[in-house]
């Protein structure tokens, strides 16, 4: 597709359940980023991949959060034993090259609600 | 963590008016970006700035990378109703990879 694609668009889960969020970056984009956006706030960085390598996971809030990009294309963000404070919009972004000056292009996000 | 201070938090203006918003940081940035976000959508890139002092325009939008590398502003001239949305500044700190640090956003409302 032409842009970053995320699925599902909406996810409702009960507290304690595990969830998996998918990101399809723009074809050929080397770098992939995950951000968390709480209501009324700006996005906050979670983690960053260059191809299949996870180069920075300093923003992951706890060890319940795990991200992977095994083939250097599609990425999955997994949250285990979800808590209410995990409710947020999870945004994925990709950029073309290794050069970190390349601008990031965002998907429309997955809105996660934990009951 | 690192933060960007973005102001104003919200603006209510009349169609045709000019708008100005800015971001400041305690850290030096090597890239400044301005995004617009509408409800239910992801941020859309408006302008990217890569050099201190750089002034860049995109239609009615103009943005500048501050000389100190710690600030940036965005101006919108002759606002129209479709300018409504939340505008975010975002920056990258040198040697911290590609992660973006976002401001808190400026919510713009335009009255026809």
Extract the runs of DSSP E, i.e. beta strands, from A1-115: 5-7, 10-13, 19-24, 31-37, 44-50, 53-56, 65-68, 75-79, 88-95, 105-106, 110-114
List, for residues B69-94, the tens digit of each pLDDT value: 999 999 999 999 999 999 999 998 87
User: Which among B53, B60, B17 is positioned nearest to B36, based on CA atoms?
Assistant: B60
pLDDT computed for residue A68 by the predictor: 97
**Chain A positions touching chain B (beta carbons under 8 Å):** 4, 31, 33, 35, 40-45, 48, 55-56, 59, 91, 93, 95, 100-109
Per-residue pLDDT at A32: 95
CB-based contact, B20 to chain A, within 8 Å: no
- Dihedral, CA of residue B100, residue B10, residue B87 and residue A37, to nearest 10: 50
Q: Is the dihedral of CA A36, A32, A29, B30 positive or negative?
A: positive
CA A53 – CA A30 distance, rounded (Å): 10
Cβ neighbours of residue A62 under 8 Å, at least 6 residues apart?
A: none
Selection from B21, B40, B31, B47 nearest residue B105 by Cα? B21
Contacts of B104 in chain A (CB under 8 A): 41-42
Task: Kindly report the nearest CA distance between residue A86 and chain B, in angstroms.
Answer: 18
Angle at B70 between CA A30 and CA A46, to 5 degrees: 40
According to the model, what pLDDT value does residue A27 have?
A: 93
Bridge partners of A88, per DSSP, are A112
Share of chain A above pLDDT 90, in %: 90
Mean of per-residue pLDDT scores for chain B: 93
Q: Which two tokens stand for residue B70?
A: 């710690």
In tens, the pLDDT along A4-55 reads 999 999 999 999 999 999 999 999 999 999 999 999 999 999 999 999 999 9
Q: What is the pLDDT of residue B35?
A: 97
Are A59 and A49 spatial neighbours (Cβ–Cβ below 8 Å)? no
Instruction: Enumerate the residues of chain A whose CB falls inside 8 A of the CB of residue B50.
Output: 101
Q: What's the pLDDT at B97?
A: 75
A66 pLDDT exceeds 90? yes
Query: Bridge-partner residues for A20, per DSSP?
Result: A78
């Amino acid at each position: 597709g032409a842009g970053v694609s995320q699925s599902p668009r909406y996810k409702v889960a009960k507290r304690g359940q595990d969830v998996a969020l998918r990101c399809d970056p723009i074809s050929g984009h080397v770098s992939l980023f995950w951000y968390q956006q709480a209501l009324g706030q700006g996005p906050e960085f979670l983690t960053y991949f260059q191809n299949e390598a996870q180069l920075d996971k300093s923003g992951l809030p706890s060890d319940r959060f795990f991200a992977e990009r095994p083939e250097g294309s599609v990425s999955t963000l997994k949250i285990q034993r979800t808590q209410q404070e995990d409710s947020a919009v999870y945004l994925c972004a990709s950029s073309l090259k290794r050069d970190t000056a390349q601008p990031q292009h965002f998907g429309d996000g997955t809105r996660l609600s934990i009951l | 963590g690192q933060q960007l201070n973005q102001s104003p938090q919200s603006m209510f203006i009349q169609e045709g008016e000019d708008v100005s918003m800015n971001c400041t940081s305690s850290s030096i940035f090597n890239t400044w970006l301005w995004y617009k976000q509408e409800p239910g959508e992801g941020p859309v890139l408006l302008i990217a700035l890569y050099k201190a002092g750089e002034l860049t325009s995109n239609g009615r939008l103009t943005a500048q990378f501050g000389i100190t590398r710690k600030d940036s502003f965005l101006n919108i001239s002759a606002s129209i109703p479709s300018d409504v949305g939340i505008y975010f500044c975002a920056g990258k700190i040198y040697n911290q990879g590609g992660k973006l640090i976002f401001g808190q956003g400026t919510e713009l409302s335009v009255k026809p």
